[in-house]
Amino acid sequence: MNYYDKFKKRFEQEAVLRNLSERTRKSYWWHIADYSNFCKKDPEHTGVEELRAYFQSMLTDGNHKPGSVKMGYYALRFLFTNIYHKEWAKEYLPTPKVAKTLPLVLSKDEVSDVLGAIDNFKHRAIIMLIYSTGARVSESVNIKLTDIDSRRMQVNIQEGKGLKQRKVPLSPVLLSVLRDYYKKYKPQHYLFEGAGGKGTHLGITAVRTICINARHRTPQVKKPYTPHTFRHCFATHHLEQGTNILVIQRLMGHSDLSNTLKYLHVQQLNTSQVVNPLDTLEGLEGLCRNK
């Protein structure tokens, strides 16, 4: 494409200056290319009409997931405002309204079943770490040996979303597992080294494959879980145990509390002690009598 070489360097420069993560850069560039293919011309020579038609297509063609639709909107807004320096006509280009899906969550018994189905100790250890710390997959593979602070019983997550750091409690059980793991695998830099050895870390795709393989061994777990599911489980199980929602927000690394509040909709509530308001009305005996 003609636009590719012309704007790739400008795009990369702007993405670096605005501190976009590598994952966001790839997603943005994919959507820019997708938009160009849709329009069959250089995006710089397009405008509101082409953008509206593209967003309508994304919402109706069945080929784009809800998250992809919104990412496409942000990618093209980034392109037009930060690279082309054009005005973004918000009144004609409203943010696409997409259905919000609730997180997929496993029960504690299901988590145990999955962990028990993972025979490889290294693979089981990283899934245990995600479940124990609530770390994202990208954060988990980037954890270094020096990030495990056994004296303060903390895990330092340095490669967080938006390059934000946070510290989460280190479970004594996880610490014991990691010590056995270290004795067996002798990692030198990253906690979970990749096939390249020192200086490389386990890939995100490899972690996803762990769950794909485990799903074949856990037919009793009907939910299509992924590594990210164990992050959802971390937050939800904390809620069910009574952990304060603001504490969970900090542990998850959420900037916006609304991202944490979604777990209120999937937590399993203990209703055994809940009193029905009908049962507390005064004169209930008379009200229930068939006169």
Judged on CB neighbours under 10 Å (0-12, 13-18, 19+), 101 is: exposed
Residue with tokens 């299509």: 224
161 is catalytic: yes
254 is catalytic: yes
215 is catalytic: no
| Active-site position among 136, 166, 201, 232 | 136
Is the distance from CB of 28 to CB of 78 less than 8 angstroms?
yes
228 is catalytic: yes
| Active-site position among 70, 217, 228, 262 | 228
| Active-site position among 28, 131, 181, 263 | 263
Here the tokens at position 157 are 């997550």
What is d(CA 164, CA 19) in angstroms, rounded to the nearest whole number?
A: 11
52 is catalytic: no
Residue with tokens 């895990």: 155
What is d(CA 6, CA 127) in angstroms, rounded to the nearest whole number?
A: 42
What is d(CA 172, CA 131) in angstroms, rounded to the nearest whole number?
A: 14
What is d(CA 261, CA 250) in angstroms, rounded to the nearest whole number?
A: 12
| Active-site position among 161, 167, 217, 223 | 161
**CA angle (124, 235, 151) in 5-degree steps:** 65
| Active-site position among 64, 231, 237, 238 | 231
136 is catalytic: yes
Positions marked catalytic:
136, 161, 228, 231, 254, 263
